[in-house]
Each structure stands twice: as C-alpha cells, then as structure tokens.
Amino acid sequence: MSADKIATSAWHKASWRDFPIKQHPCYVNKESIESVERELSNFPPLVFAKEADSLKDKLAKASRGESFLLQGGDCAESFSQFSTNAIRDMFKIILQMSVILTFASSRPVIKVGRLAGQFAKPRSNDVEVIDGVSYPSYRGDLINSQELDKREPDPLRLLKGYHQSASTLNLLRAFSQGGFANLEQVHNWNLGFVANNNFGKRYEELASQIEKSLRFMNACGIDTQTTRQLKEVSFYTSHEALVLNYEEALTRQDSLSKDWYDCSAHFLWIGERTRDIDHAHMEFLRGVKNPLGVKIGPNATKDDLLKICDILNPLNECGRLTFIVRMGADKIEQRFPALLRAVCEEGRNIVWSCDPMHGNTKVASSGYKTRSFTDIVSEIRSFFAIHKAQGSIASGIHLEMTGTDVTECLGGVQDINESSLHKNYHTQCDPRLNATQALELSFMLAEILQK
C-alpha cells in the first residue's frame, strides 16, 4: 500500500485491516478476538462527539497561543495498580500544575490526562531475554501480562481495559464537576509528602494568593461559589491508539453530523514507531473526527511531516493535529529547527507540543530505566527557544508523571541519584516524574510562559 492509496481509498472503520501494521498484537484465537470485538461494539461509548469537538476548539486556541495544553499521566496504566487514590492523586497533580501555569501565563490550561485507556505499549524489541531464554515482550496490560508465562496476547484483556477505563472516567467526571476541582479547594490539592519541600511551599504561597483573589472577587460582589468556571474544570482523556481492534470497536457514527468518532478517548495519538504514512494506524485515525496527535522523533523528515498533515488534516483545520515533538535534549537543536521551518513555510496549522520524556530515556548503572530531570528541562528550554527563533508558537507539554512520590527519574530538588532509584520504583514501563518533580517543572515552565 502507498501513501497515495491512503489518501484516495475509501475510509471505513475497518479499512486499516488492508494495510501493513507494526507493533500490533497477533491474536491466535480468532473466535475469541471476534467475540470480544462484538461485545465491545455494543458497549456504551466512553466519550461523546461534542466533547471531542470542544477539545478540538480549545486546541485551536492553543495553536494561536491563547491557551496552553498540559497533557500527562502514566506511561502505562496498569490493572494491578488501579485504585481510587492513584486516580485522585494524578488528578490533583494535574490540577496543581494547571493552576501554576494558568496563574503565570494568564492563559487557560487545557487538561488532558494520559488516562482511562493508556494501556498498550509499543516496544523497541519484540523479545525480552531473561537468563538466556527469550520471551515475547510485555506490551502493556491491554495486550499481555508482565508474568513471563502469560505473554501471549489475550483478547479478554480488551474487555478489562474497557471496564477499567469506564470506571476511571466515571471518577474523573465526578472529580471535575462534583466540587473537588472547585478553585476554593486549591490548598487541599497539595499532596501531603509534597507540602514539606520547597516546591510544595511555593505552591502553598500561590494557593494563598489565589484564595485572597477569590475573597477579593467575593467582596466586589462576584459570587465565586456559583461561578461555574471556578467550581468545575473540563478534563479530557487521551491515549496512544495502538490496538486497532479496540479502537475500531469503540468507533461510532455521530447521529447528528454522521461523522465518525473514536469514542475510547477524546484525543488519540499515533506513536513514534507506528506513524508510517502508508500503514494501518495512519489509515485508521484519518477517518475519525477526534483531535489527533502524532509523536515526532529525531529521525522524522520534512516530507514525513507534510505527508502526515496531508493525510490527517487535509482541510488544515486548527486544533485537529498536534505534533508531539520528542527528539531528546541532545538532538532537538540539530533536528527540529528545519522541520519546524518547513511546516511553518507551508502554512500548516499545528498544535506544537513538547514531550521531553521519550527522547531522554537511558539505563542507569543499577539497571533501572531512567531519565534525568536536567535533560528534561534542557529539551523544554530548547523547544521554546526554537519556536521563539522561528516566530511560531509552542503550544503545549506532554509528560509522563504521577501524583505519588516514586523514584524513577534522576535529579530535581530531592536530588534522586542512581543509588536511590530502587527505593520507590513502580512504573509498568517508562520512568515518570514524581509529584515534586512535576511541580518543580511547572514552576520552571511558568517562568518561560511568563516571558
């Protein structure tokens, strides 16, 4: 199949099946996967067309510099670590980060979680060798198990992924609209273990300033208790659209517009390893109306980027397409400027977001997969500087983080070093910023956005 075929052939929700595909599970038991697909197709959608449209409108604003995209969450959600507290803590840290960024930049922050569906992982190697024995790689809880004797892709995991996503979303909707996200609660969002360090304290000061502003507004006659914008937040979900059997089964036609939406999440992205223009992931996502992202690594070419725009955003709509740039602190200066210039010169409307995580992964001497806070900050600074030099807009940030005090990334105010990584290392896949590192990063970003 060629890129031309993608652009000219008729799309339907199963048309990806005629294209080559990478990183995809091969289900041996055909009856079982077909029965799971039928079941999923009858389940209620997790999100609704109008919600995806509203996110797209907000992203259009981000592309013009009128708002800022904050997208973040786990590298991979897990079945075993699923808990109310984990979701609550993730939601809290996203609210805290968003308050810091809004206050500094005077721009609304669009909150998008890597949540309620972020289960499937592309892997660099198909096999993992342990004690001389090869096992198929673990590909995320939606596909197989970390246990070595359960590495065969299991279709029933798609059902479990759906149900966990549904209950996660249910809680997120309650948190967003049921009083928890009320700006009056700004102090209560600070996480216990963070409150005692520098950045927790800086957050407390900011929270006090916000409270004072709310009291001032009340004194002026604005009832902050009943103002919806202060009481509720819009929170959106996103994940990498990797397992297309799952995405297809949750793809529904909107009864009003007759357009197709992938109702598994508001925002879907294509990963760095599956963004070939003539492949199945590109074919599938071009046909749904959700706002979309594509990861852009250091080996992308101008031609790749322009073809991705042609395929995923032929009408050049603002807010439809986000490029999530993840080159690595050591490569971004060299690779990104020419790509950005080419896309800008062609007048393509893009939401430019920086993922400073995936180009900066390394293995510590202790064997842990890690990332250094210094590299993460350095890539973000370069991303903003390159945009400034080009006269274009840096519209967002894409992070892997958690609301708990894990020790997975090196550095930051707690000065996590290689020998302390083992203390609280829990990720299912890539190393995440802990809550303190996430706050520290937000204050650093706030300074950049203020300039």
Please give the residue ranges that form the binding site for Co ion (CB under 5 A). Answer: 75, 430
Identity of the residue, 53 or 74, whose beta carbon is nearer to ligand PEP in the bound complex: 74
Binding string, 427-446, against ligand PEP, x = CB under 6 A? ---x----------------
CA distances from 419 to 67, 193, 370, 376, 405 (A): 40, 21, 12, 20, 16
Place of tokens 């807009």: 393
Residue 326 found at the interface with ligand PEP (CB under 6 A): yes
Tokens of 267: 């925002």
- The SS3 of residue 333 is helix
Residue 354 found at the interface with ligand PEP (CB under 6 A): no
Residue 272 found at the interface with ligand PEP (CB under 6 A): yes
Q: Taking CA 284 as the corner, what is the angle to CA 251 and CA 24, rounded to the nearest 5 degrees?
A: 100
> Minimum CB separation from ligand PEP for residue 147, in Å?
21
CB 277 within 8 A of CB 308: yes
Contact region with ligand PEP (CB under 6 A), list: 88-96, 153-161, 166-174, 269-277: 269-277
Burial class (CB in 10 A: 0-12, 13-18, 19+), 160: middle
Site residues for ligand PEP, 37-96, by CB under 6 A, read 75
Distance of CA 80 to the CA centre of its chain: 21
CB 262 within 8 A of CB 292: no
Tokens of 288: 């749904």
Identity of the residue, 200 or 328, whose beta carbon is nearer to ligand PEP in the bound complex: 328
Is 295 known to sit in a ligand binding site? yes
Identity of the residue, 188 or 301, whose beta carbon is nearer to ligand PEP in the bound complex: 301
Looking at residue 109, the DSSP 8-state letter turns out to be E
Identity of the residue, 107 or 273, whose beta carbon is nearer to ligand PEP in the bound complex: 273
> Minimum CB separation from ligand PEP for residue 430, in Å?
6
Q: Which residue is nearest to ligand PEP (CB)?
A: 271
Picking from 317, 395, 319, 320, the residue whose alpha carbon sits closest to that of residue 59 is 319
Is 320 known to sit in a ligand binding site? no
Picking from 241, 247, 76, the residue whose alpha carbon sits closest to that of residue 146 is 76
Selection from ligand PEP, Co ion, none that 61 binds (CB < 5 to 8 A by kind) is none
Looking at residue 418, the DSSP 8-state letter turns out to be G
Site residues for ligand PEP, 276-295, by CB under 6 A, read 295
- Write out the residues near ligand PEP by the rule CB under 6 A: 75, 122, 240, 271-273, 295, 326, 358, 430
Query: Which residues line the annotated binding site?
Result: 75, 114, 272-273, 295, 326, 358, 400, 430
